A = this chain, B = another copy of it.
Amino acid sequence: MAQRPTIKTIAKETGLSTATVSKALNASPQVRPRTRDKVLQAAKELGYELNISGVQLRTGKTYQIAMITVIASPDDDEWAGVGYTQLISGISRAIEHTPYRVVQHQVASFDDSFEVIKRIIQNKKADGIIISGTRANDPRISFMQEQDFPFVTYGTSDASAPHAFVDTDNRRIVTICVERLLSKGHRRIAMINAREELNYTQNRIEAYKAALSKAGQTCDPSLLAYGRLTPAFGREQLFEMSMFDEPPTAYICANEATAMGVLSGFQVRGMEHGRDAVVIATDDLNVSQYFSPPITTCYLPISKPSETLGKFMLDLIGGEDPINLQKLFVPDLIERGADTCNLERQ
Which A residues lie at the B interface, using CB under 8 A?
A: 4, 49, 51-54, 56-57, 62, 64, 69, 71, 74-75, 78-79, 81-86, 88-90, 92-93, 101-106, 119, 122-125, 231-232, 235, 257, 260-261, 263-264, 266-267, 285-287, 289-294, 301-303, 307
Contact = CB atoms under 8 A, between A and B. Distances in A.
Given A51-B57, A75-B303, A103-B103, 16 more contacts: A4-B123, A52-B125, A69-B85, A74-B90, A74-B307, A75-B286, A79-B287, A81-B89, A92-B104, A231-B287, A231-B290, A232-B290, A257-B287, A260-B291, A263-B292, A292-B292
A333 to B, nearest CB: 17
Contact of A301 (B74, B232, B235, B261): B74
A327 to B, nearest CB: 17
Contacts of A257: 287
A54 B62 CA distance: 12
> How many of these chains are in the complex?
2
A106 B94 CA distance: 11
A267 to B, nearest CB: 4
B53 A287 contact: no
Contacts of A83: 85
8 contacts: A4-B124, A69-B89, A83-B85, A85-B85, A101-B104, A103-B104, A263-B292, A264-B291
A106 B86 contact: no
A146 to B, nearest CB: 12
B89 A106 contact: yes
Contact of A104 (B81, B102, B287): B102
